[in-house]
Structure 1
Amino acid sequence: MATITTEMIKQLREATNAGILDCRKALEQADGDFKKAVDILREKGLASAAKRADRKASEGVIELYSHGNGRVGVMVEVNCETDFVGKSEKFRHFAHELALQIAASAPLYIREEDIPQEVLDHEAQIAAAKAREEGKPEHIIPRIVEGALTKFKDETVLLRQRYIRDESLTIQDLLNDVRVALGENIVIRRFVRWALGETTETA
């Protein structure tokens, strides 16, 4: 069993913002492994965030963002439980970062469950046809299709996308972190993204 020093606890506290006792317990559980201790605290944080996810969120903000001299426009509604949190700098910053993410990465859905089944079926058919066209053996095609669907979800689902400022995080990670930090249920309610010239109909 590794010796847990005050310095180790202090470093973990600075890195995670968790309480001293929680940091000590996590380090003991991880046998002094700093990275493992961070993961343990993160998992605990996520568990408490998940409990908050059932609470009603009807306050918040509608964040507007215009990019590239007005060539891309984003509107995203982010909800929280109280007006106090809705006006906080951390909450507003999170809403702004979401708008930037949507502008840059053009997601189509918020959650995986939002994808219509017919869209997934269509993507699966395309992936299977492409694999057969390339002469791939029939027995590995289901695995290829599964990989293609995972990639499709990672690219088109906002919560699964890699955060544009830090590829090691997903938007789901950011949402979990902000829930833990603010102590409220935070919900990404809806968004729209317009790009100049997207519609080709003549007015």
Structure 2
Amino acid sequence: MSANISAADVKKLREMTGAGMMDCKKALAEAEGDFDKAIELLRKKGQKVSAKRADREANEGVVVALVSDDKTKGIIVKLSCETDFVAKGEDFSGFAHKAAELALANFPDTLEDLLKIDMGGLPLADRVTELVGKINEKIELAAYEKLEATMISPYIHMGNKAAVLVGLNQASEAAYDAGRDVAMQVAAMKPVALDKDGVDQDTIAKEIEIGKDQARQEGKPEQIVEKIALGKLNKFFKENTLLNQQFVKDNSLSVAGFLQSIDKELTVTDFKHVALG
């Protein structure tokens, strides 16, 4: 080793990278005191850890939703890891919030675009890799959603285990509060679409086939099988599309009916829901 590695140097590298003390010491020794080279070595360690753990399940983590000050733009990011212990750590949750702030500030179109955005001199993707090296678990920025609307109501569910954004066609305090109630509905009832027009044709075809099979198994005559299946499809729309669902806080109303009780023109224009797992 041609360079003397001081405790101060190790401390400095640790502060710069967040890596462990011994990892910093080894990296500086291998890099012969060159900080840039040592940082690169630590990043490579992260990449190796990431590759080594690529087959592990990353079902824990943190989901963060942020909305712009004017409440017209919102984002959700999901940072996944392997264990609940890591998910609850300050390093991990702090990184997730920084990634969310970066997403809101830049408002990229896709997760791939988000991972390319600069975070302190490196792409966000490389910062994730560094975090892998520091924490020694499989970590990935697993989801990103964006939403624009006249007003957006956010909701964080179960200690950052899920997040919802609900876009509304009106901007008022009453609309915002109603949107929060609807966002909680989304988290609880997990609708597949806003209304029946948002359900894809493959899902509709599958539900019709399931309905036909059920009718045949019940011994119904073939000539009414199609009619029964369409009836079951309408039930599917009622149970699985947001505006048609029964409102959880008042089962006498649909979600659409609840919104109209606040203002007859109020409705949801879109929603986003991201959960762990």
TM-score tier (shorter) = 0.5 to 0.7
Structure with greater Cα Rg: 2
Asked if 1:184 is matched to 2:140, the reply is no
Q: Which has the higher strand share?
A: 2
1:35-54 matched pairs, under 5 angstroms = 35-54=36-55
Q: Which has the higher helix share?
A: 1
1:150-161 matched pairs, under 5 angstroms = 157-161=113-117
Taking the aligned partners of 2:104 and 2:14, their CA distance within structure 1 comes to 34
- Residue 2 of structure 1: how far off its partner (Å): 2.8
Taking the aligned partners of 1:9 and 1:61, their CA distance within structure 2 comes to 30
Match of 2:31 in 1: 30
Question: Given that residues 60 and 83 in structure 2 are in contact (C-alpha distance below 8 angstroms), is that contact kept between their aligned partners in structure 1?
Answer: yes
Larger relative contact order (Cα-Cα within 8 Å, sequence gap ≥ 6)? 1
Moved over 6 A (4+): none
Taking the aligned partners of 2:68 and 2:11, their CA distance within structure 1 comes to 41
Taking the aligned partners of 1:187 and 1:50, their CA distance within structure 2 comes to 12
The DSSP-based 3-state class of the residue aligned with 2:147 is: strand
Question: Given that residues 75 and 99 in structure 1 are in contact (C-alpha distance below 8 angstroms), is that contact kept between their aligned partners in structure 2?
Answer: yes
1:54-203 matched pairs, under 5 angstroms = 54-111=55-112, 157-163=113-119, 166=120, 168-197=121-150
Amino acid at match of 1:176: T
- Residue 28 of structure 1: how far off its partner (Å): 4.5
Cα separation, partners in 2 of 1:23 and 1:184, compared to 1, 3 Å: closer
- The count of corresponding residues between Structure 1 and Structure 2 is 153
- The answer for unaligned runs of 5 or more in structure 1 is 112-156
Question: Given that residues 4 and 24 in structure 1 are in contact (C-alpha distance below 8 angstroms), is that contact kept between their aligned partners in structure 2?
Answer: no
Amino acid at match of 1:74: I
Quote the sequence identity (%): 36
- Residue-by-residue CA offset, 1:174-203 (whole Å, 9 max, x unaligned): 21122222222122222211123599x9x8
- The answer for unaligned runs of 5 or more in structure 2 is 152-166, 170-266, 268-277
Cα separation, partners in 2 of 1:23 and 1:174, compared to 1, 3 Å: closer
Question: Given that residues 46 and 134 in structure 2 are in contact (C-alpha distance below 8 angstroms), is that contact kept between their aligned partners in structure 1?
Answer: no
Cα separation, partners in 2 of 1:23 and 1:4, compared to 1, 3 Å: farther
Structure-2-length-normalised TM-score:
0.47
Question: Given that residues 110 and 159 in structure 1 are in contact (C-alpha distance below 8 angstroms), is that contact kept between their aligned partners in structure 2?
Answer: yes
Cα separation, partners in 2 of 1:3 and 1:96, compared to 1, 3 Å: closer
Taking the aligned partners of 1:183 and 1:79, their CA distance within structure 2 comes to 13
